[in-house]
Every structure is written in structure tokens, then in C-alpha cells.
A and B are shown apart, each in its own frame.
Chain A
Amino acid sequence: MTVVEAAVLRYRVMAYVTGVVLVVLCFVGIPLQVAGHPAVANNVGVVHGILYIIYLTFAWILSRKLQLANKPTVIMLLAGTVPVMTFIVERWVTRRFINPALAGQSAPAEPVRP
């Protein structure tokens, strides 16, 4: 496993973990809070805060490894704060940046027709 692949794996794990926790927070915790049971939102909120810090670190390290421009980097970092967005952005980053980078790394790019 190369350095880039390791960074991709770390980013991917955190994207999914943070994403799942944020979905729980927004679609379970917040409704319960509105209904008068704030415990879930409070605890899951703090957990998401901590996970998001780790997500930020890994996403940023990957963006450096892939040498992303500022815009995709910021999109990646902020995705961890919007419900479901980490999943969408992870797919987008994989297709748009990770796959081309890994393809260029392992073998010379073969011209392929879509």
C-alpha cells in the first residue's frame, strides 16, 4: 500500500464514520430533541465534533497528497458538516481525483475511450 493509498483509506473510513454519525445526529437526534429528549442530540453532537476534527485532519492530508486545488480541498473539508454530503463528496473525489491519481501512479496512463 502506497502513501497515497493509505491516505485514501484513512480519509474514506473517516468520511463514512463521520457521515453516519452526522446522519444519526440530524435525523434521529434533532427530532428527539424537538420532541423533548435532548440526550441523544447532545451526546452524538459531541461525538460528531470529535470525529469531525479527525476527519478534517485526514481529509486535509489526502488533499495535500493529491495536490488538490483550494476549491476541492475546501469542499472536502466542509462536507463533514453537511448531512449525507460526505458520501457524495467521497464518491466525487474518488472519481475525479483519487482514481486518476492512483492510475497515474501505478501504470502509465493508457488512453481509454469511455
Chain B
Amino acid sequence: MENAAPAEGAAPAEAAEAAEAAVAGGGWRFLIQPRWLGWHALMVVSFWGMLWLGDWQFHRALAGNALSWAYTFEWPLFAGFAVVFWIKTIRDEFRIKRGEIPGGTYGEPEDLPFGVRAVQSGEGPADDEDEELSAYNAYLARLNAEVKQHGRWHGLR
């Protein structure tokens, strides 16, 4: 966790605060990583977009399109879903960081090819028990990387 370690030149108060946050596991700075900023932006745009669509349907409904009444209520509902889902997602992220719920988020290491996945410690055989399998998995990963490279190369040509 790179945000847990305070910078060397930081004021003592700041360092203490950072250390406290690290102990509590309440580091919120992952939320301003570029990836998360992108998600925030997507959520804001889709929220206002859905409200705008609801407003548009409302005006169509007022103009006499009876079907639009259904969508007038549906779009704001979707916008509300987006907000609720987003708040819950971020709260869960904090809870994982605090260790209240187990982590191990699926879908994060997306560069791993299918069939090759990280094995949680404590489950299954330790790495040294099965060198052959890990060598095989490394071989698969290497093959996958090579194949991806090929695709890119041919794409360029």
C-alpha cells in the first residue's frame, strides 16, 4: 500500500495521522487513483445523463405520449440505483481494507489468462509442493503473453 507510507519530509503531525490511518485501514487515497477517478467521472456523467433522459421523457409525456410516463419514473430510478450502488461499492472497498469482510476481489488481475489464477495462501498446495504445476502455469502465462504480442504485431502489419 503505497499511500500508507508517509513521505520522509512530512510534518510529524501528518506522519502520525498517516500512521493512524494506516492502522485503522481507513486509507481513502485509493479513491483518487486515476482508475477510480475514471469510475467517479463515469458515475457522475451517467447519473446526470439518466436524470436528463427522465426529464426528456417527462416533457414527452406532458406533450401527450402516454407511454413516456413509465420512462419518466424509470430513468430517475436508474439514476438513484447508480448512486446507491456506487456508495455501497465504495463502502465495501473500505470494509475490505479494514478487514471486516474478506478481500480477494475477483476480476482485478485481468492480465492472467483463463485457467491461471492466483491461489490463496492457506488453501490448496503450497507452491513448493507443486513445482511442476507452477512451471506449467508460468509456461501458459508466457504463451498467452506471446500470443498477445503476436496479435499486436500482425495488427501493426
The chain A residues found within 8 Å of chain B, CB to CB, are 42, 45-46, 49, 53, 56-57, 60, 64, 66-74, 77, 95-97, 100-101, 104, 108-111, 113-114
Residues of B within 8 A of A97 (CB): 106-107
Residues of A within 8 A of B130 (CB): 111
A67 touches B105 (CB 8 A): yes
B67 touches A72 (CB 8 A): no
B124 touches A68 (CB 8 A): no
How many angstroms between the C-alpha atoms of A35 and B21 in the bound complex? Answer: 63
Decide: A109 near B124, CB < 8 A? Known: A46-B67, A64-B88, A95-B114.
yes
How many angstroms between the C-alpha atoms of A74 and B42 in the bound complex? Answer: 11
Q: From the candidates B81, B114, B117, B123, name the one contacting A56 in the complex (CB within 8 A).
A: B81
Q: Does B74 contact A (CB under 8 A)?
A: yes
- Give A32 Cβ to nearest chain B Cβ, in Å: 15
How many angstroms between the C-alpha atoms of A101 and B123 in the bound complex? Answer: 13
- Give A101 Cβ to nearest chain B Cβ, in Å: 7
19 contacts between A and B (CB under 8 A): A49-B71, A49-B74, A53-B78, A66-B106, A67-B92, A67-B103, A68-B105, A69-B106, A73-B89, A74-B42, A95-B114, A96-B106, A97-B106, A100-B117, A101-B106, A104-B120, A108-B123, A110-B124, A113-B133
- Give A2 Cβ to nearest chain B Cβ, in Å: 15
How many angstroms between the C-alpha atoms of A101 and B108 in the bound complex? Answer: 14
Q: Does B30 contact A (CB under 8 A)?
A: no
How many angstroms between the C-alpha atoms of A34 and B108 in the bound complex? Answer: 44
Q: Does B52 contact A (CB under 8 A)?
A: no
Residues of A within 8 A of B115 (CB): 114
B136 touches A113 (CB 8 A): yes
Decide: A46 near B81, CB < 8 A? Known: A64-B88, A64-B92, A66-B106.
no
How many angstroms between the C-alpha atoms of A62 and B102 in the bound complex? Answer: 16
Decide: A70 near B89, CB < 8 A? Known: A49-B71, A113-B136, A114-B115.
yes
> Nearest residue in A to B96 (C-beta to C-beta)?
A67
